[in-house]
Amino acid sequence: MDHFLYRNGVLHAEDVPVPEIATAVGTPFYVYSTATLTRHFRVFDEALSGMDHLICFAVKSNSNIAVLKTLAELGAGMDVVSGGEYLRAKAAGVPGDRIVFSGVGKTRDEMRLALTGGVRQFNVESEPEMHALSEVASELGVVVPITVRVNPDVDAKTHAKIATGKSENKFGIPISKARTVYAHAAALPGLEVIGIDVHIGSQLTDLEPFRQAYTKVAELTVQLRADGHDIRRLDLGGGLGIPYERSNVAPPLPLEYGQVIRETVGHLGCEIEIEPGRLVAGNAGLLVTSVIYNKQGEGRDFLIVDAAMNDLIRPAMYDAHHDIVPVIEAEAGADLHPVDIVGPVCETGDTFARQRQLTALGEGDLVAFRSAGAYGAVMASEYNTRPLIPEVLVNGDQFAVIRERPSFDEIINRDKIPEWL
């Protein structure tokens, strides 16, 4: 569910007409709904009710500070994978004891940043990282809580580029080596082993891979406790998918996901952490763009819009689907015809949809890409010297620009010409 609905034929973001935002900020832009973010967070919170838990929003999915603050005020923790994301979480007012530091390549500088600023735990990904963290913690005279990320060799049955739990993926340590690695961690200074971390991928639409992975984590918990480790926290990752194609069968609900957690690890008495990103933010955002031209090609028509692959790279990178709708609702029974929806970047990959059925649209008409609140703005670039586009947050009948579009002068003046030129 989201809060982007037609009223009197006009698409609204909560109580704000989308054309009103377009007039104020220009196109293209991202717009997020506070009500949708709130609802999705609370649905997860309710799914784990009665269990000791913390929901840590995956900052990599949407790192705008206003979005992070909205969720933090609901009680969310944050899962960060870089020093920059850590600083964003802190800037949003999130205390260190609600920030989990994940990521496969943490540097010593990032470790120092989090250890001096406060952190809930490090999810350690490898033995070399474990040694580095031990050294940095010892230098600073602190003891840092850690989990070790285990790779359970479970096929998440998702896109190959966002699967993280198979043996050939770069993430975590093989679960078969876990007891040896945990024994090593327990012997290192500056580290306190408190739990287990697992994350098998993103956009999962089947609960069975979760069940398989969490069952293995439960078995490992029993083994590690028998080895003398105080395993009291399980970080189960995120990855629950969203319905990008509304005509398809909907993915499982957070309540059903929560039931899998209860059935597999609920008996262990551990605090549970989960790290949703896409399901919280994905359907809480739209990308709004306007039509530049209609172009007739050989055997197909092209709808050229002012958003491009640098603004939303998911279709180019993952062949991802986004529902695309006119902001002014088509009349009932209006004819549909197939068009390729493309941007202005000089790449064939700058194609959002092929042969998508749409009603006739003309120059200046507004179009909305649904399910764009996660892995949209965060993955944007300035390719072709195209400015990063504005982000807007709506709350009821109010809206605010939460990231402005930079000017060309601001972009160009970042470059520096050396003296010899």
Give whole-number Cα distances, 124 to 128, 237, 351, in Å.
Answer: 9, 13, 38
Residue 369 CA to residue 341 CA, distance in Å, equals 11
Contact 405, 26 (CB under 8 A): yes
- Say whether 56 is catalytic: no
Contact 309, 346 (CB under 8 A): no
Please state the separation of Cα 141 from the chain's center in Å: 34
Q: Which residues contact 337 (CB under 8 A, 6 or more apart)?
A: 301, 357, 358, 359, 360
Helix (H) or strand (E) holding 368: strand 366-369
Residue 378 CA to residue 80 CA, distance in Å, equals 13
Nearest to 314 by CA among 343, 293, 290: 343
Contact 366, 289 (CB under 8 A): yes
Angle separating helix axes 127-140 and 108-117, nearest 10 degrees: 50
Residue located via tokens 């088509």: 330
Catalytic residue among 346, 412, 417, 421: 346
Concatenating the DSSP letter of every residue in 164-228 gives --STTSSSSEEGGGHHHHHHHHHHSTTEEEEEEE---BSSB--SHHHHHHHHHHHHHHHHHHHTT
Q: Which residues contact 163 (CB under 8 A, 6 or more apart)?
A: 155, 156, 169, 200, 201
The amino acid present at 401, given as its one-letter code, is V
Residue 158 CA to residue 239 CA, distance in Å, equals 10
Give the active site residues. 346
